[in-house]
Amino acid sequence: MGKRMRKIKNIRLHHEGNETLLVMGASLAVFNAALYWLCRDCCIWVFYSVAAVSVILYSIIVNFFRCPLRHYEGDTERTVVASADGKVVVIEEVDENEYFHDRRLMISIFMSVTNVHANWFPVEGVVKMVRHHNGNFYKAWLPKASTENERSTVVIETPEGDEILVRQIAGAVARRIVTYAKEGEDCVIDEHLGFIKFGSRVDVYLPLGTEVLCEIGQRTTGNQTVIARLPEI
């Protein structure tokens, strides 16, 4: 019970949800108040039914914006942690043509609407590049989503000299990407890289020779699950 209580205390709401939660909460409150006024003398059960649905709907939206406080306690040297909660859907060598223009190992994590939507830096280092690209909103698990959907690209150089590319990808439902990374700034694993509203996908491009420590279908916890170990230079 004590462990459960500590976990609850470490969960907060992400500030990206403030406006959505405020507007939706106020709208539902006004709607239900008006419905109560109309139904109080004839069919109060209608009000109670709608109020119950409203509470459930609002709870689901609150769940979307939960933001656990997490701290990685392992060795960060050459360590690559998951940038997001979700499921590993791709592990393969691909041509990366936006920044590297060569072959890279890509690990993709798909975020469902029930996952935490905050994104963490997968490695420590210095942010070398941040780019946002407008695009389509295909389903995030499709291969073409990586290059054709709306997306943000962040390149990080580790203290050992490796360059890692992280790509936040919008999907059919998730249509707002927020990226906090700034070019020239230092970054650490425990910091938020950004936020994707209502799920989607995060791709990480790693040097060939990287040791993969995850597998297809594996569930990941952002800022906790080690997905790879960078090669010795």
Phi first, then psi: what are they for 220, rounded to 5°? -120, 155
Cβ contact 225:81 at 8 Å:
yes
> For residue 178, what are its two tokens?
């927020």
For 35-60, b/e burial (b = at least 16 CB within 10 A) is: beeebeeeeeeebeebeeebeeebee
Task: Find the catalytic residue in 54, 83, 146, 200.
Answer: 200
Cβ contact 43:69 at 8 Å:
no
Cβ contact 143:159 at 8 Å:
no
Helix-then-strand count for the chain, H and E: 4, 16
Could you give the angle at which helices 44-64 and 18-39 cross, rounded to 10 degrees?
170
Burial level of 133, CB count in 10 A (0-12/13-18/19+)? Answer: middle
Cβ contact 117:14 at 8 Å:
yes
Cβ contact 175:197 at 8 Å:
yes
* Residue 200 among the catalytic residues: yes
C-alpha span between 200 and 175 (Å, rounded):
9
The catalytic site residues sit at: 200
